[in-house]
Amino acid sequence: MRLNDLYPFPEERKSRKRVGRGAGSGLGGTSGKGHKGQNARAGGGVRPGFEGGQMPLQRRLPKRGFKNYLFKVTFEVVNLDRLQAAFGDQKEITLEDIYDRGLCRFGAPVKILGDGEVTGALTVEAHRFSSSAIDKIRKAGGEVKELCADVLCDCVCCEGEEAEPSSSEE
């Protein structure tokens, strides 16, 4: 059996409905839409959830919980192998360097993950690091600079400061 031998079963391919082609077709005259009314018109029908003027179910039921999407922080992830490929022999990698090389969207908070190997001593700057990334960078003789834990923070006290890495030391 090859890919060009595959075909769908006949009942799986539904044939097109040809309407308005005479009484003998079974779909002549009103084309299967009945007589007059909202659903017989072009573009007719009601929106999803509409119950004919009765208070719809989604409004009868109470609201529950809350959405925290306003404060959700999504990190752009960069693996060590991509860092190594993009920067090669460069010893210090800042957040601006990562943005400039197009490894992630500009201004997005960055998390470094530990997939791949580090060949030389690197100093890497990012908002978050996985524990495996910290281990690999430090074993290669490098240094980890974790930026302010609150990436939405604009406070003066955090400017230029580096936060302590959030994961375990060893």
Fold entry, domain 76-158: Ribosomal Protein L15; Chain: K; domain 2 (3.100.10)
Domain boundaries, the chain: 17-64, 76-158
170 has a pLDDT exceeding 50: no
Using the structure block, give the residue that is written with the tokens 């779909």. Answer: 27
Tell me how far apart the alpha carbons of residues 138 and 169 are, in angstroms, rounded to a whole number: 10
Give 102 or 72, the one with higher predicted confidence.
102
Enter the DSSP assignment of 129.
E
Mean pLDDT, the chain, rounded, equals 87
| Mean of pLDDT values over 54-74 | 91
Phi, psi torsion values for 112, nearest 5 degrees: -95, 125
Retrieve residue 30's tokens: 């009103």
Tens of pLDDT, residues 126-135 = 999 999 999 9
58 has a pLDDT exceeding 60: yes
Q: Is 146 helix (H, G, I), strand (E, B) or coil?
A: strand
Q: Model confidence at 153, in pLDDT bands (50, 70, 90)? A: low
